[in-house]
Amino acid sequence: MASRKSKKQRQREKNGVFRDFERNLISKGLPRGTNVGVQSTGRVKMSEVLLDFIEPYTEEAQSEDEFRSLITMGLVAWNTALLPEESHEQTLDRLIDEAIRDGADDFRQVVYEIIGRKQRWFAQIKRLMLKDDLTVSEKGRHLSVISTPA
């Protein structure tokens, strides 16, 4: 029978993920000494929201790389859906020009489908998703998402 992690163990793991994220921010130019905090508000976990959001597409993501790509596509669609509708096309075109070489039309079509899903099923959640961290181990997948406050 698998043992459950203690509250202290879970907190230690959470702190480790946070330290890794903070190091990553510093490596990308965040000045040292900048206050970076994590606040648990009891609100919905955005990692769970993102997994629910992309759920209809997860069966097709067989490999870890495909699943990571799906998460990225979900983040793009989610954040684009929060922009004014008239800027969706321009935002996606710019992103596709910068990042997608092959399959741009397919990518665009799926992102628009997912944007429709956001507007239909998740419209009440207005938080931007800023960063994701996917860990894959023998225990399965664990997703963390950093988002803006509600």
Contact 127, 26 (CB under 8 A): no
User: Considering the domain boundaries, does residue 6 fall inside one?
Assistant: no
In a domain, 74, yes or no: yes
CB neighbours of residue 76 within 10 Å: 21
| Domain contains 21 | no
Q: Is residue 29 part of a domain?
A: no
Query: Tokens 């508000």 map to which residue?
Result: 41
Number of domains in the chain: 1
Does residue 102 fall inside a structural domain? yes
Q: Pairing state of beta strands 129-137 and 140-147? A: antiparallel
C-alpha distances out from residue 56 to 25, 76, 85, 91, 122, Å: 32, 16, 23, 24, 14
Structure tokens at 39: 């606040």
Q: Which domain holds residue 72?
A: 46-147
pTM of the model: 0.69
The answer to whether 66 and 60 are in contact (CB under 8 A) is yes
- pLDDT by residue for the chain (150 residues), tens only, comes to 444 656 666 656 555 666 666 666 666 666 666 655 555 555 789 999 999 999 999 999 999 999 999 999 999 999 999 999 999 999 999 988 888 878 888 888 999 999 999 999 999 999 999 999 999 999 999 999 999 987
Question: In terms of C-beta density within 10 A (0-12 exposed, 13-18 middle, 19 or more buried), how is residue 126 classed?
Answer: exposed
